[in-house]
């Protein structure tokens, strides 16, 4: 069935004051992502941004991590404090109900605009984070340090639940090919090519929110996503991802038993 992502905006994209933890939990798991507006403290965001900018002057890496943020703030910051918000903390407790979970990592990145000249990272192709990161269910808070989605690149996401994504991805838990980097060998080649994804889910399947500082996108390591950049997006973009990881590959879907969840995920 074709997905028209823009029609989901009223459901998956709301101001923080319009979300309850239970509603956010339900929408996040039903659609694989949710946008929460005006949820991140601006003073905290600015403090972390300043440390990230400074950290990039001291590394040639594509990313600045929580370890860098701690080192360059004398231990005052890590990046995890960005999501130390009651709504988001309660969400995490609901997502990981029945299993252990912990802080995983913080990673800032910079994506080059079409204006070029910055030497920043090229836009990311469509992918699953679990092609590189662990398979255990990871909740990711994607937080921009600036306006993006109009004159600078933003992220695009396929808003379907993680079980449907997993079925589409061809993941079985066993490698399909040996000798590949990270977890790439667990997934069919070309499964995330834009034309193939569009054939499966429709040409309007991607949600591409216009974001502002203080907003956050909540997604997981089991959502198809990548950078979205048009020719008009001449400026570069800097953002940070704050990740928490559970002890299991699955989480409890609202209103679904464990046995039903396994059947939905693996067709049993």
Instruction: Answer yes or no: is 156 within a domain.
Output: yes
Question: What's the pLDDT at 17?
Answer: 98
Question: What's the pLDDT at 116?
Answer: 83
Instruction: Answer yes or no: is 268 within a domain.
Output: no
Distance (Å, whole) CA 88 – CA 244:
11
Question: What's the pLDDT at 118?
Answer: 85
Instruction: Answer yes or no: is 61 within a domain.
Output: yes
Q: Which domain holds residue 68?
A: 5-262
Work out how many domains the chain is built from and give that number.
1
Question: What's the pLDDT at 259?
Answer: 56
Instruction: Answer yes or no: is 54 within a domain.
Output: yes
Tell me whether residue 42 is exposed, middle or buried, using C-beta atoms within 10 angstroms of its C-beta: 0 to 12, 13 to 18, 19 or more. exposed
Instruction: Answer yes or no: is 145 within a domain.
Output: yes
| Segments of the chain with pLDDT less than 70 | 256-268
Strand pairing report for 13-15 and 34-37: parallel
pTM above 0.85, yes or no: yes
| Digit-coded pLDDT (tens) for 218-236 | 999 999 999 999 999 999 9
Question: What's the pLDDT at 262?
Answer: 52
Distance (Å, whole) CA 88 – CA 96:
12
Question: What's the pLDDT at 200?
Answer: 95
Instruction: Answer yes or no: is 170 within a domain.
Output: yes
Distance (Å, whole) CA 47 – CA 76:
10
Instruction: Answer yes or no: is 267 within a domain.
Output: no
Instruction: Answer yes or no: is 25 within a domain.
Output: yes
* CATH number, residue 140: 2.60.120.620
Question: What's the pLDDT at 265?
Answer: 46
């Amino acid at each position: 069935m074709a997905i028209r992502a823009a029609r989901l905006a009223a459901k998956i994209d709301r101001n923080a004051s319009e979300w309850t933890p239970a509603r956010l939990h339900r929408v996040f798991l039903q659609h694989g992502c949710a946008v929460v507006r005006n949820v991140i403290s601006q003073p905290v965001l600015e403090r972390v941004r300043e440390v990230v900018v400074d950290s990039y002057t001291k590394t040639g890496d594509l990313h600045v991590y929580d370890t860098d943020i701690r080192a360059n703030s004398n231990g005052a910051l890590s990046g995890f404090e960005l999501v130390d918000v009651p709504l988001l903390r309660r969400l995490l407790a609901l997502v990981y109900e029945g299993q252990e979970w912990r802080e995983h990592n913080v990673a800032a990145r910079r994506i080059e605009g079409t204006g070029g000249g910055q030497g920043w990272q090229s836009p990311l192709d469509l992918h699953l984070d679990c092609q590189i990161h662990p398979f255990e269910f990871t909740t990711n808070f994607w937080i921009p340090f600036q306006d993006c989605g109009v004159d600078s690149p933003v992220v695009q996401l396929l808003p379907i639940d993680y079980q449907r994504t997993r079925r589409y991805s061809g993941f079985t838990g066993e490698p399909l090919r040996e000798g590949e980097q990270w977890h790439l060998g667990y997934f069919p080649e070309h499964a995330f090519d834009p034309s193939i994804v569009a054939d499966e889910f429709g040409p309007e399947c991607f949600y591409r929110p216009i974001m502002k500082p203080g907003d956050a996108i909540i997604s997981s390591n089991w959502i198809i996503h990548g950078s979205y950049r048009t020719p008009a997006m001449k400026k570069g973009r800097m953002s940070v991802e704050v990740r928490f990881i559970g002890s299991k590959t699955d989480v409890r879907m609202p209103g679904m038993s464990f046995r039903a969840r396994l059947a939905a995920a693996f067709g049993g």
